Amino acid sequence: MKVDSLKQKEKYLKWKESAKDGIPNLSKENSDLFLRFYMIGKMD
């Protein structure tokens, strides 16, 4: 059994939820580009 002592899953899920409307401090274009390519590899 793998234990997530650093709470990486919770951090990822929190980030994913907050990034739905775009990533703060990035332009809309860059945010959309990043999310499009990042989410392709992270199909949940």
pLDDT value for 30: 93
- Cα-based distances in Å from 18 to 1, 2, 11, 28, 44: 29, 26, 11, 14, 16
pLDDT value for 10: 92
Record the pTM. Answer: 0.61
Residues of the chain under the 70 pLDDT cut: 40-44
C-alpha 9 chain-centroid distance: 11
